Amino acid sequence: MAVLDTAVPGGKPRRTEREAFPEFVDAVIIGAGIAGMYQLHQLRRLGMSVRVFETGSDVGGTWYWNRYPGARFDSESWTYGYSFSEEVLEEWNWSEHFSAQPETLRYLNFVADKFDLRRDISFNSRVAAAHYQDDWGGWNITLDDGRCQKATFLITAIGPLSAHTLPRIDGIDDFQGTAFHTARWPHHPVDLSNKRVGVIGTGATGIQTIQTIAKSVGHLSVFQRTANWAAPLHNTPISAAEMAEIKANYPAIFARCRETPGCFIHMNDPRATFEVSEAERLAFYEELYNTPGFGIWQGNFRDMSTDPEANAAVSAFIADKIRQRVKDPVLAEKLIPKDHGFGTRRVPLETGYFEVYNQTNVRLVDLKATPIERITATGLRTSDEDHDLDVLIYATGFDALTGGFDRIDIRGRNGLSLKEKWADGPRTFLGLQTVDFPNMLTIVGPHNAAARCNIPRCIEQNVEWVSALMGYMRTHGHAHIEATQSAEDEWTESINELAAHMLYTHVDSWMTGVNRNVEGKDIRRVLQYQGGAPAYREHCAQSAAAGYAGFELR
Ligand code: NAP
């Protein structure tokens, strides 16, 4: 039986699948997630004609697709929502400090309703190809059902983590039980009670899934290849009084997010790790470990992500926490990463994750010791054992940042394929444009600060910058924008330099573009701007202030 792919699940398509749309629009946006929705709203305000194509049957992007049990924010809810609309800020109430997926999806539906966004969105519409047309200077966009659309501008809002990947394991279609990837979790309730469930993958998704289902399943087998660092989320409900206070403080909250490198409310401590005494250092780690959210990662000593000894110190602290929480010392050691330091991969935040392994119905299968040999009709075979399963959950991640682009046949000038151009790593200017692909703008594209950010904060900046550009081009009678070769070369070079001193560049993860489930993605690449969001915004603003320096406008 094939792994279920609920690409067009039984949601509520708002429009018919083969609806007609005008032959030509000013802009096509790919994706109706947080970025695509806001970009549509902004371009409409400029009076542009816009069509959004969305594979899913409704809005929401990441929060539409990722419905697995336990999916929720790792960012504080009240830092995550859109900031552009006073009305939205006033009317929406978050119920938890770290909202769960159903609430976030409700929020995005609320925004879509409020601004009547759906009338320009074609759902159930997967873009298969986008080809630049040299003769008239715009884009021909083709959907996988053959429908076509022409547009002057192509704006990609496809998300950094949208191309989910199944593992390359023999026999994946042989399994006779139920199997799905977490990013294609069915829209209908899945009853796991009393079932023998296997989860492959222990990244942020696997950890949220495991800690949530462990109590209700009959038996849970966790197939862990690489142990991951994780720290407590400390989620709590938001009372009415607290929500009123948050609303009153929104300007200060968003101002704070604008100051920090990742646009979270957490700011690195200005001290270096060994500037303080050991007692002070441990007390600070303890405080961070007990603070809700990403403080332990984003608010730690300033050298945690660059100095190996500083990193080893915080890693030792977290390792001890794992030892305290997992009763079986042998198991605890298996759950402690030995091949990378804390924070050199994106840190999952957890709620009782490590305690799950104290339950008698949960078993950790260490794939480093006993690798998976194949999937069988009845479960999964490792090198020493057959594991019988009713349900197999693939929490195996994404082909990050460039994967979403690779899945569309994007061709620029003279038929140049984007996939080929970026085969050895992306080349961009500002992570928003790439040479030979005129009039294509990439929201949250590779090399963009948004790719390492409390994402809606950076999305708003990207979208507003693109919208201002569109307005400028209209005012000046331009219909063509393309980065110059020198701007692209300099930006790409600076991206590599900024990342060079970061410890994460020495570690395999989606952040370094490594995904061995995808042909050609086994080499580390620099995909993210590491200079911090404030510096990135400054680069974008400087280019705009100089009449879009680094771009050729015609
Ligand atoms: P991920 O971090 O890439 O984790 C994928 C997991 O699958 C890893 O444990 C990986 O093992 C394992 N895996 C992949 N192929 C395998 C194979 N062939 N055999 C065995 N194991 C295999 O993906 P993710 O957990 O979906 O998270 C991706 C990102 O999404 C996160 O880092 C985060 O940025 C975002 N996310 C955010 C939230 C949130 O905001 N709350 C929640 C979930 C995800 P290896 O490590 O050995 O490769």
Are 389 and 424 members of one domain? no
Are 411 and 389 members of one domain? no
| Residue 32: half-sphere exposure toward Cβ, Cα within 13 Å | 29
Q: By the 8 A CB rule, do 467 and 473 touch?
A: no
Q: What element of type H or E holds 130?
A: strand 127-133
Burial classification of residue 454, based on how many CB atoms lie within 10 Å of its CB (0-12 exposed, 13-18 middle, 19 or more buried): buried
CATH number of domain containing 136:
3.50.50.60
Higher-confidence residue of 204 and 18: namely 204
- pLDDT tens by residue, 465-494: 999 999 999 999 999 999 999 999 999 999
Give residue 207 CA to ligand 1 midpoint distance, Å. 9
Q: What element of type H or E holds 393?
A: strand 391-394
Are 297 and 336 members of one domain? yes
Give residue 371 CA to ligand 1 midpoint distance, Å. 17
* 201 close to ligand 1 (CB < 6 Angstrom): yes
Boundary-marking domain end, from 334, 365, 394? 394
Are 417 and 386 members of one domain? no
Are 132 and 151 members of one domain? yes
Are 385 and 416 members of one domain? no
Whether the pLDDT of residue 202 is over 80: the answer is yes
pLDDT band at 69 (very low <50, low <70, confident <90, very high): very high
Give residue 329 CA to ligand 1 midpoint distance, Å. 25
Burial of 131-169, coded b for 16+ CB within 10 Å and e otherwise, reads bbeeeeebbbbbbeeebebebbbbbbbbbbbbbbbbbeb
> DSSP per residue over 25-78, as a string?
EEEEEE--SHHHHHHHHHHHHTT--EEEE-SSSSS-THHHH---TT-B-SS-HH
* 350 close to ligand 1 (CB < 6 Angstrom): no
Are 407 and 513 members of one domain? yes
Q: Mean per-residue pLDDT for 515-519? A: 96
pLDDT band at 14 (very low <50, low <70, confident <90, very high): very low
What pLDDT, on the 0 to 100 scale, is given for residue 196?
Answer: 98
SS3 call for 245 = helix
Query: Could you tell me if residue 352 is inside a domain?
Result: yes
What pLDDT, on the 0 to 100 scale, is given for residue 2?
Answer: 63
Boundary-marking domain end, from 394, 418, 450? 394
What pLDDT, on the 0 to 100 scale, is given for residue 331?
Answer: 98
Beta bridge partners of 374: 381
Give residue 40 CA to ligand 1 midpoint distance, Å. 30
Are 320 and 389 members of one domain? yes
* 517 close to ligand 1 (CB < 6 Angstrom): yes
The span from the CA of 533 to the CA of 539, in Å, is 10
Query: Could you tell me if residue 185 is inside a domain?
Result: no
What pLDDT, on the 0 to 100 scale, is given for residue 21?
Answer: 75
Q: Which phi-psi region, left, alpha or beta, contains residue 214 (left: φ > 0; alpha: ψ -120 to 50)?
A: alpha
Closest ligand 1 atom to residue 75 Cα is 40
- pLDDT tens by residue, 216-258: 999 999 999 999 999 999 999 999 999 999 999 999 999 999 9
- pLDDT tens by residue, 258-298: 999 999 999 999 999 999 999 999 999 999 999 999 999 99
Tokens of 32: 């109706």
Burial classification of residue 545, based on how many CB atoms lie within 10 Å of its CB (0-12 exposed, 13-18 middle, 19 or more buried): exposed
Total domain count for the chain?
2
In terms of DSSP bridges, do strands 481-483 and 551-553 run parallel, antiparallel, or are they unpaired? antiparallel
Mean pLDDT (the chain, rounded): 95
pLDDT band at 23 (very low <50, low <70, confident <90, very high): confident
- pLDDT tens by residue, 389-417: 999 999 999 999 999 999 999 999 999 99
Are 148 and 105 members of one domain? yes
What pLDDT, on the 0 to 100 scale, is given for residue 507?
Answer: 97
SS3 call for 350 = strand
Whether the pLDDT of residue 148 is over 50: the answer is yes
Host domain of residue 491: 24-164+400-553
